[in-house]
Structure 1
Amino acid sequence: MSSITQVQSIAWGTTPQGEPVHLFTLRNAQVEASIATYGARLTSVRTHDRKGTMGEISLGADELAPYLTNKSYIGATIGRLGNRLANGRFTLDGTGYQIPLNNGPNALHGGPVGFDRKVWTAQEVPDGVEMSYVSPDGEMGFPGTLHVTVRYTLTDNSLRLDYEASCDKPTIVNLTNHAYWNLTGDMGDLSHHLLKLNSESFTPINSTLIPTGELRPVENTPLDFRTPKEIGLQWDSEDEQVQLAGGYDHNHVLASAEEPLRLAAEVTEPVSGRTMQVLTTEPGVQFYSGNFLDGSFQGRGGSIYKRRSGFCLETQHFPDSPNHPEFPSVRIEPNAPLRSTTIHRFSA
């Protein structure tokens, strides 16, 4: 039996360009989630611990201002192309495209002004809210006018994200959400979270965090989370891949399943008893241990998010996919839109 979800919205400020931003809060008996129209962004998720106490389990702020100036993508919908694109370049049907660089020699998360910096249109839907954005042809160098929706809904103990993207000509798209999680309920120590990933292999990276093209088995590496392991146990390992990323920042190849929606990850925080399962239709998940958080984002209650204050599980197609034909394709056609679902299921 489904819990009844209440949806409330408030005015949440304006951008420097004068665009009004609204905040929608979804609430049922088990989960609360807030989503802002700036970046179609998850700003808060609250769930119960084993004692029944509600606590905050995601990084975020109570006001708009920190999101306008900070570049750490906290909670944002990422697009057009999530993750890194080598040299900001790709070729489609014989035509080369250049995306502005914003991550050393690479383009990250769609370039300097990605979907995370846009004000989306919102409308209430049953049990949630749907965010929409139209990306014009040529925005950040990408071809085609792209219509995107992200629908956030609550059902019982789950937060569901449904993505859809359609374009008027062939283009590339890789959408994800960049929530940072910390299941302690009080933004406590991250290292003791137990993580299990349904992945036998990962995509190794080079010195600029671009995949080499190889699919490498996780066995006998610090990236082996096939059985639950504390995430802090080897995040300072001497392993070359861990050193290159300054911790974990790797795409894991998800095991195939008969059903399109597969279990990608399960995380448990032993003290609070909270568990989060992540299910997705995507072929990969980027496990990122918050290595680049630097204290510049002031979160709720004046908290400062320093290095490794939160971790990400970004369900996605693989990084730099347009330059690796051997990877699952991120190309979409006018008659074949992208549809993708990710579910976060909470328990204690």
Structure 2
Amino acid sequence: MTKIYSKLWGKNSKAEDVFIYILENQYLKVEIINIGACIKKIEVKNDKEKNKNIVVSYDEIESYEKNPAYIGAIVGRNAGRIEKGLLAVDNEIFQLTKNNGDNNLHGGFNSLSHRLWNIEKKEDRLLCFIKSEDLDNGYPGNLDIRVEYILNNNELLIEYYSNSDKKTYINMTNHTYFNLSGEKNSLIYDDILELSADYMMKINENSVPYELIKLKDTIFDFSEKKKIREFFEGKDSQKALANNGIDHPYILNKNRKSPIIIYNEKSKIKMEIETDNQAVVVYTANYFVDIGLKNHSGICFETQDAPNLFKNEKLEIAPTFTDINKPYRRYTKFKFSNF
């Protein structure tokens, strides 16, 4: 049975109340805050030792207001970069705000990741609501967004819903950084990753994805489980583009219920990820030093559509557009276990 309760954390810079909402059962304890509907903590309960928080988090409200690394946040309206901020909807071009060089990143300035959400407790879940008005950061359509966090035994399910009054583009994700060791600022090199994907997207010098490549025989291939250390010890020009790390979209194979599995041999914690999204951007926290943490001390699995409105008919890859008659629905499930 899931217990859901909340507590006042403090005030933000606008003197608004910031709350921590807790979902807890015998397996997991999850904390969500109303800034960005961020995941602040996931504790995997263990009878043998102290419970371990396995996600990267801030200690201060102010850090979540700024949150340049999008730690724990719901990201939208778009996850990733849109080159030159140009969005084509049917025959109309919309100029999005450019908040990452010449590109639109994660929805633009003061995005959904940094705003206060309305949150309601309901039985086994938290309901998180926010509105994004027409031409918010340049995106067309008045958008009603609902994100649900649901705790069921050893699984955390995130469900995304949205409706628009006109045709618009949407591609949402959650931007939690995991560190399954449970040790703050420890590196992820010895985590073992298995990722069912035959293709990934190359990125340019501005980290904009633009072309599919086969993963076989590259250092980016995790189709057979291996330590992440093996990637960092390998040589590849694409690695240098992402500050010697991973920041690339993988196209998920459809033949596996949980295409992403990662575990830490020391903590004995394993995480399996299931999703109905077509891709996942794997990001190894390559710029954490900019916020006072160690680079590569967390790993993010941004389940989403292929970024930058990428299309490929053969692999059935296409951007998602929503309107009043076509609501947006997506889910991602995280299953935790001690092995």
- Normalised by the length of structure 1, the TM-score is 0.92
Which ranges of structure 2 fall in alignment gaps of 5 or more residues? none
145 and 118 in structure 1: CA distance in 2 versus 1, 3 angstrom threshold: same
Q: What letter matches 2:113 in structure 1?
A: D
Matched, 1:211 2:199: no
- Structure-to-structure mapping, 1:333-348, within 5 angstroms: 333-348=323-338
Aligned residue number for residue 52 of structure 2 = 55
267 and 50 in structure 1: CA distance in 2 versus 1, 3 angstrom threshold: farther
- Structure-to-structure mapping, 1:194-233, within 5 angstroms: 194-212=192-210, 214-233=211-230
- Separation in structure 1 between the aligned mates of residue 325 and residue 104 of structure 2, nearest angstrom: 28
Q: Is the 8 A contact 2:27 2:153 kept in 1?
A: yes
Task: Note the C-alpha offset of 1:150.
Answer: 0.6
- Separation in structure 2 between the aligned mates of residue 305 and residue 134 of structure 1, nearest angstrom: 32
Of the candidates 282, 297, 318, which is equivalent to residue 309 of structure 1?
Answer: 297
Q: What letter matches 2:138 in structure 1?
A: G
Moved more, 155-164 or 67-76: 67-76
Task: Note the C-alpha offset of 1:50.
Answer: 8.4
Q: What letter matches 1:101 in structure 2?
A: K
Task: Note the C-alpha offset of 1:306.
Answer: 1.9
Q: What letter matches 1:291 in structure 2?
A: N
Aligned residue number for residue 111 of structure 1 = 108
SS of residue paired to 2:79: coil
- Separation in structure 2 between the aligned mates of residue 264 and residue 340 of structure 1, nearest angstrom: 16
Of the candidates 82, 89, 93, which is equivalent to residue 90 of structure 2?
Answer: 93
Q: Is the 8 A contact 1:280 1:342 kept in 2?
A: yes
Q: Which structure 1 residue ranges, 4+ long, deviate > 4 Å from structure 2?
A: 323-326
Q: Is the 8 A contact 1:50 1:274 kept in 2?
A: no
Q: What letter matches 2:306 in structure 1?
A: F
Task: Note the C-alpha offset of 1:236.
Answer: 5.3
- Separation in structure 1 between the aligned mates of residue 254 and residue 197 of structure 2, nearest angstrom: 9
Aligned residue number for residue 69 of structure 1 = 66
Aligned residue number for residue 117 of structure 2 = 120
Of the candidates 181, 185, 210, which is equivalent to residue 184 of structure 1?
Answer: 181
Of the candidates 75, 78, 87, which is equivalent to residue 78 of structure 1?
Answer: 75
Q: RMSD in angstroms over aligned alpha carbons?
A: 1.6
Which ranges of structure 1 fall in alignment gaps of 5 or more residues? 297-303
Q: What letter matches 1:312 in structure 2?
A: C
- Separation in structure 1 between the aligned mates of residue 255 and residue 53 of structure 2, nearest angstrom: 32
Of all paired residues, the percent bearing the same amino acid is 30
Count of residue pairs brought into register by the alignment: 333
Task: Note the C-alpha offset of 1:129.
Answer: 0.7
- Separation in structure 2 between the aligned mates of residue 280 and residue 134 of structure 1, nearest angstrom: 24
Q: Is the 8 A contact 1:282 1:315 kept in 2?
A: yes
50 and 255 in structure 1: CA distance in 2 versus 1, 3 angstrom threshold: farther
Aligned residue number for residue 289 of structure 1 = 284
Task: Note the C-alpha offset of 1:136.
Answer: 0.6
Task: Note the C-alpha offset of 1:49.
Answer: 5.2
- Structure-to-structure mapping, 1:119-158, within 5 angstroms: 119-158=116-155
SS of residue paired to 2:267: coil
SS of residue paired to 2:55: coil
Matched, 1:250 2:253: no
SS of residue paired to 1:169: coil
